[in-house]
Amino acid sequence: MEIITIKNHSDIYQKEDTVLVLGYFDALHKGHKVLFEQAKKIAEKEQLKVAALSFFESPKLAFSRFEPDLLNHLTYPEKRYSKFEEYGVDYLYLTNFTSDFSQVSSDDFIKTYIKNLRAQAIVVGFDYKFGHNRTDADYLSRNFKGQVVTVDAVKQDGEKISSTRIRQLIAKGEVAQANQLLGYEFSTRGLVVHGDARGRTIGFPTANLAPIDRTFLPADGVYVTDVLVKGQRYRAMTSIGKNVTFGGRELRLEANIFNFDGDIYGEKLELIWLDKIRPMIKFKGIDELVQQLYTDQKLAKSW
């Protein structure tokens, strides 16, 4: 897959005819996957390439009052791009959703971006809107000479799969359900840094992680996780929170990695969130904490 960064339509030099998939696609969840499956079918039948036009950041940044969460993502960039490639995209065009871009009319978007991308067919979701006048797929069908495929909402448990729904699940710590909607495992990358070293003194040494991406984090609690260390995958139990038992005030992300021993300071690890074991609890003392950690460990190992 070729990744092309553009400032505007003038930067597009597409040499092959395409099936074009349009959208933001932060999560690239099961619902998004259906769009790319449709695009691949058309591409194979018509001997076209699959192209996608998307954005580095959420379009909401150009319209909404700023909140820090608007800069967060469900997947870090490399993982997001690998999912595009896995879904069959040959050319991924990325641009910034700016005020200038938001002022492009629907007609001009068709005459410039879609034309320059050499789209012979277009695939969009049922709720896709484009142009400063916020026109929909019906307008696109009437004003674009090629085929337009609109994909209906994909549902699970009777409710639409959406990035918003997935973010809400993660915020509640319901990572197992989030993974079901994503169709792959939600993860967090972090750099191993020095912490308080309390875990080692009570028989549960941890890798303290400083997150390195602008990705969402799950609710405070203790989780079953897998950890990728130097290309190897290990089971772990991971806590995220403020270490309330010891009066902690700063957010800590700590992974107790099973069947692993060694110093890995400075290494980049990837935490794969599998399920929540329990919320964060303030224990009366270390003995009560250790007893609970053995219970947590048993649950994590048998998950």
Question: pTM for this one?
Answer: 0.92
Has residue 124 got a pLDDT over 60? yes
For the chain, domains (ranges, CATH) are 2-154 (3.40.50.620), 185-302 (2.40.30.30)
Write down the pLDDT at residue 178: 98
Distance CA 74, CA 214 (A): 9
- What are the structure tokens assigned to 242, written together? 């403020």
Closest CA to 103 of 59, 65, 39, 37: 59
What is the per-residue pLDDT across 212-225, written as a single tens digit (0 to 9) for each?
Answer: 999 999 999 999 99
Tokens 């969009």 sit on residue: 124
Amino acid identity of residue 130, one-letter, is F
pLDDT band at 201 (very low <50, low <70, confident <90, very high): low
Helix (H) or strand (E) holding 33: helix 30-46
Has residue 174 got a pLDDT over 90? yes
Task: Provide the H-helix boundaries in 50-208.
Answer: 77-86, 99-102, 106-109, 115-116, 137-143, 163-171, 175-182, 198-201
What is the per-residue pLDDT across 58-112, written as a single tens digit (0 to 9) for each?
Answer: 999 988 899 989 999 999 999 999 999 999 999 999 999 999 999 999 999 999 9
In the predicted model, what is the mean pLDDT of the chain? 92
